[in-house]
A and B are shown apart, each in its own frame.
Chain A
Amino acid sequence: MEAAIDKPLADAERKALARCRHAVLGVDRPLRLDCGVELGPYRVAYQTYGTLNADKSNAVLICHALTLDQFVAEEHPVTGKEGWWESLVGPGKVLDPARYFIICINVLGGCMGTTGPLAQDSAGQPWNLRFPVVTVADMVRTQAALLDHLGIPDLFCVIGGSMGGMQVLEWAASYPARVFTAVPIACAARHSAQNIAFHEVGRQAIMADPEWKGGDYRLHNTVPARGLSVARMTAHITYLSEQALQRKFGRALQDRDALGFGFDADFQVESYLRYQGSTFVDRFDANSYLYITRAMDYFDLAAAHGGVLANAFKGTPTRFCLFSFTSDWLFPTRESREIVHALNAAAANVSFVEVESDKGHDAFLLDEPEMFRTLAGFLKGAAAVRGLKDVP
């Protein structure tokens, strides 16, 4: 079974696994997914920074967003770009490996080493679209299983933005005793109709690409590059604010002085989006994109708790700190406020910071001093309560 797991990998996945740790879980006891399917064994790829202290009290779990991965604070093995959260994680940063043991796990369904549609079933056949549909709760189950495997009883902090924030909420709801602080950033307790709609456009673009071949493109040695690229272009627009797009590009033309009266990328914004789309294809798998967007669409924490969000947090011992950004229209402040209201209804310990920014949803990945300053204060206060010393 493990052999099947380790069989042919996509090129990007092979590079990723060569640069991070992984564990094969669910060997004795398969993982029961929300869809009812039992999955096992499965592989979990993860990266760590820093050292776990003697009393195992300094572990921080970073949950990554839709198209990100475990390479938080180092050069990416596929793109060669710097880690996606180096603004927050690193020496002298808010999450300093000298102080915390930082873990980031590639999500279930992902394409950077953790089991997903790229993997093979026990018969050695690629899963492709036969891979079971997974949920955010399933992702969190695999993360909890990895922590069990690593002997980490609980986490000082679970933090993440966007889909990472959904995982943070799921962690707090499913494993309250294992989460000392929870920091959901720029997220919601359920995916809105508008967000599902945008995801559907992306999925349709992939599935409309003739190279997609019903999901079996690898068997045909093709890549649905155009479809995946259009999916990325659509999604990318939702990550930016109108002001940010306008400021960055306006109506500026790309490598020309006049309109071309054709359909080349006349405008810089078109060229930028095309570039975003084409580079995405090199590092991300189309089927993974279908599965992970689906997981986000299915996320509805209240529905999973009798229709009342507060029930998800009843009696929670976790200290929460939520962040939203004023210009984020994908996960607007009101979505965070709904979570805050539910946490209040559970009399939870909660802080909520709305950061003034014109950078849209992407702000959570960028240099936002107000977020860093308030997050540092929150973590410092919580560390004092937990009795965490400065250096492990």
Chain B
Amino acid sequence: MTAAAIRVDLQLIADMVDPATRALDVGCGDGSLLAYLVNFKRVDARGMELSQTGVNACVANGLSVIQGDADADLRDYPDDAFDYVILSQTLQATREPREVLRQMLRVGKRAIVSFPNFAHWQVRLRLVFGGRMPETPSLPYKWYDTPNIHLCSIDDFRGLCRDMGVRIERAIVLDRNSKPISLPPLVANLLGEQAVFMLRRD
């Protein structure tokens, strides 16, 4: 099999996952990350997805997926059930991000989280000079119909990890073209459009 092309941020996550491990992808969407992990890294990968249409499509592709959401359904799983619990581009849409993170790190030995950076310069410009709620490629919604109810910046997220006593094993900041950039934290918080963190309990 040749490597299938998946979204750059998903590829970054996939690269963080060791082969032949167990992973749970929360909010797995159309299952492209799951399929990659199963087919190319021999990962025992499971998915959870809010939309039943998405679930059915995943199952039809031979993936193990259930309908569920991060806020309600992580608590069912036993401690250390997975090597990785993955939450890509979903943390900001959860009701209780802190509790979701706690559950992820209870259920998984590691958590991999990606999210849009609300301190990206485009967001700042829109708000400061436009006087409007920001709409950007990674935050394409109107203020009244956005699912994103708990947006944060990269620095905010680091702060939460510190408060929770969670160790950041890796942090990758991506620019507007989803290319990793290595910059000092203060600049990264301005220029990074999204970030991928790998966390573990301390």
Does B66 lie within 8 Å of A344, measured CB to CB?
yes
Does A347 lie within 8 Å of B78, measured CB to CB?
yes
Q: Mark B76-112, 1 if CB is under 8 A from A, else 0.
A: 1110011000000000000000000000000000000
Q: How large is the interface on B (under 10, 10 to 19, 20 to 34, 35 or more residues)?
A: 20 to 34
Q: Which residues of A contact B58 (CB under 8 A)?
A: 351
Q: Which residues of B contact A344 (CB under 8 A)?
A: 66, 73, 76-77
Q: Mark A369-392, 1 if CB is under 8 A from B, else 0.
A: 010011011101110100000000
Name the residue of chain A whose CB is nearest to the CB of B35. Answer: A381
A-B CB pair tally, cutoff 8 Å: 65
A291-337 interface with B by 8 A CB criterion: 319, 321
Does B59 lie within 8 Å of A370, measured CB to CB?
no
Residue from A354, A370, A378, A380 having most chain B Cβ neighbours under 10 A: A378
Q: How far is the CA of A276 from the CA of B154 in the complex (A)?
A: 65
Q: Which residues of A contact B65 (CB under 8 A)?
A: 351-352
Q: Which residues of A contact B200 (CB under 8 A)?
A: none
Q: Which residues of A contact B77 (CB under 8 A)?
A: 344-345, 347
Q: Does A73 contact B (CB under 8 A)?
A: no
Does A350 lie within 8 Å of B61, measured CB to CB?
no
Known contacts A349-B44, A352-B66, A354-B52: A374-B59 contact under CB 8 Å: yes
Q: Does A340 contact B (CB under 8 A)?
A: yes
| Interchain CB contact (< 8 A) of A353 among B46, B56, B62, B68 | B56
Does B78 lie within 8 Å of A370, measured CB to CB?
no
B116-167 interface with A by 8 A CB criterion: none
Q: How far is the CA of A374 from the CA of B65 in the complex (A)?
A: 11
Residue from B44, B58, B61, B64 having most chain A Cβ neighbours under 10 A: B64
Interface residues of B (CB under 8 A from A): 44, 46, 52, 55-56, 58-68, 73, 76-78, 81-82
Interface residues of A (CB under 8 A from B): 319, 321, 340-341, 344-347, 349-356, 370, 373-374, 376-378, 380-382, 384
